[in-house]
Homo-oligomer: A and B are copies of this chain.
Amino acid sequence: MEANANHLPNGEAAAVLDSPTNPMVTPLLTDLYQYTMAYAYWKGGKHNDRAVFDLYFRRNPFGGEYTIFAGLEECIKFIANFKMNEGEISFIRQSLSGSCEDGFFDYLRELDCSEVEAYAIPEGSVVFPKVPLMRIEGPVAVVQLLETPLLNLVNFASLVATNAARHRFVAGKSKMLLEFGLRRAQGPDGAITASKYCYIGGFDATSNVAAGRLFGIPLRGTHSHAFVSSFMSPDEIIEKSLKSADGSTNCEDFVSLVQTWLNKIKAVQWSKSSNGDTNHSELTAFTSYALAFPDNFLALVDTYDVMRSGIPNFCAVALALNDLGYKAGGIRLDSGDLAYLSSEARKFFQSIEKEFCIPGFGKTNITASNDLNEETLDALNKQGHEVDSYGIGTYLVTCYSQAALGCVFKLVEINGEPRIKLSEDVSKVSIPCKKRSYRLYGKEGYPLVDIMTGENEPIPKVGERILCRHPFNESKRAFVVPQKVDDLLKCYWPGTSGKPRVELPSLNETRERCINQLEQMRPDHMRRLNPTPYKVSVSAKLYDFIHFLWLNEAPVGELQ
């Protein structure tokens, strides 16, 4: 059992939790059929039948062998605040058939999740196919209404957190990862959701100001090409003075100081490879930006030509700032051959450090940001590069290489009777019964296998041999002697069960859990190329029951 599960005193289930981040997440954010079913259940007197549903996915995304579970906090906030107002009820009335009875709308008016129990794997955990991420129990009609919003809140959150973790894996721990996806994301909270869950998945900061405010995620940003091209000539700069960092002196004409440095750089650096003129608009823009942010001067250097204009212009401004005691923040490359340009920029910085004796200048931060993804990061690593930070947008936040995760929500028990959903495709057959799930660890500390058991089976014990069976392949089975056992499902919303409720962790705690869990995994599960599948199993007893129920429910054909 995990030690850090933070239990609240009994009876705090009804404690007030904030609403979901997006005010559009209401009981109407669901499929119409959830309401038609709710009516049919109610009409048949079946709405309070006690149902158990599992929320799980069938396949890891991005060709990998792991997934990060995310979105739980929003789900629990949604459950905690589930209540329909009159406007919503009246819209449901007008959307259903005119023949629906009034009593149903009285029922909706009183509906909340006080009788629902929600169990889940902690957010930020590494998770695997078929193992329930959440188990929701309660009156069948209300749990059905929750299906679509819970899936919506978990599917993309988990997908994009996993994508972020994969980008972190390729980039390496030492790099700064910035999420820059707002403009290309799938709608406003496609963006805000991405910012939140990329942070959980291991990113360091975002450009999205709204996400920074909502979640306390660190913000990063410099300027754009438009800023550079909006300047025409140095004459545009009217206020040219700049105080030194320590306030002791005042440079009356910072523009001239920059020009002086540019001339020095020209003299020693690139007289042979160019006619020597850098772009004036760019130099003016950099100077102007430095006057506004002398203590945080960052420059986008590819508006005209990186090596012939952007880098020397940046260095001129950075060296002028250095004269006044300021340290420049660095450059951003947004186009071209990033491996080559970052290496050339590094050489340039190093030669400036040497030529003008500016200690540390060679280490000036280089950020790259041109349509990056896992593959381009991997290619950069193979080519060799000098990039310190990556700004990643489109491919990260839209999960371009696989834009959806297929979480499903399946009925596994009703009124104590196990239920199964059959399919001609074995991978789509559901695992019936109200279940428990455990993660079993081996001698080396790595997780070995997840195992699902019936609710009332004994808990696997450390040091005791247990048979783990593949749920659908008769021949795949193995004995395991766990060195550690984690009970995966925690109670986040106890309903009227009287069970203690686990408190929702902070965003940073969830992020740390994610990073720690990823580090705990055996490396062969994590590699990009041909990763080893992690094993997911059921107990011998559950295996037998699945196959008994399957035969029982499937009609028998006759070959002709």
8 tightest Cβ-Cβ pairs between the two chains A and B: A32-B221, A33-B221, A40-B292, A151-B183, A398-B403, A186-B186, A226-B411, A187-B193
Task: Name the residue on B nearest A46 (C-beta).
Answer: B236
Q: Would you give 20 A-B contacts (Cβ < 8 Å), ordered by A? A: A22-B24, A29-B209, A31-B182, A31-B208, A32-B208, A43-B291, A44-B236, A46-B231, A46-B236, A53-B226, A140-B230, A184-B404, A186-B186, A229-B411, A230-B414, A273-B560, A277-B555, A335-B424, A335-B428, A394-B404
Could you tell me if A95 and B212 are in contact, using CB atoms closer than 8 angstroms?
Answer: yes
Task: Name the residue on B nearest A223 (C-beta).
Answer: B37
- Please tell me which one of the listed residues B40, B182, B237, B409 contacts residue A293 in the complex, with CB atoms under 8 A apart: B40
Could you tell me if A308 and B555 are in contact, using CB atoms closer than 8 angstroms?
Answer: yes
Could you tell me if B410 and A404 are in contact, using CB atoms closer than 8 angstroms?
Answer: no
- Contact segment of A116-124, A152-160, A164-172, A490-498: A152-160
Is A343 close to B, CB under 8 A? no
Is A102 close to B, CB under 8 A? no
Residues of chain B with a CB closer than 8 A to A232's CB: 414, 417
Q: How far is the CA of A298 from the CA of B37 in the complex (A)?
A: 11
A356 to chain B, nearest CB (A): 23
Could you tell me if A22 and B189 are in contact, using CB atoms closer than 8 angstroms?
Answer: yes
Residues of chain B with a CB closer than 8 A to A409's CB: 226
Is A553 close to B, CB under 8 A? yes
Could you tell me if B272 and A188 are in contact, using CB atoms closer than 8 angstroms?
Answer: no
Could you tell me if A304 and B422 are in contact, using CB atoms closer than 8 angstroms?
Answer: yes
A548 to chain B, nearest CB (A): 16
Could you tell me if A186 and B398 are in contact, using CB atoms closer than 8 angstroms?
Answer: yes
Residues of chain B with a CB closer than 8 A to A558's CB: 272-275
Is A420 close to B, CB under 8 A? yes
Residues of chain B with a CB closer than 8 A to A59's CB: none
Using an 8 Å CB-CB cutoff, how does the interface string of A385-414 with B read, 1 for contact, 0 for none?
000000000110011101111110111001
Task: Tell me which residues from 46 to 61 in chain A have a Cβ below 8 Å from any Cβ of chain B.
Answer: 46, 49, 51, 53
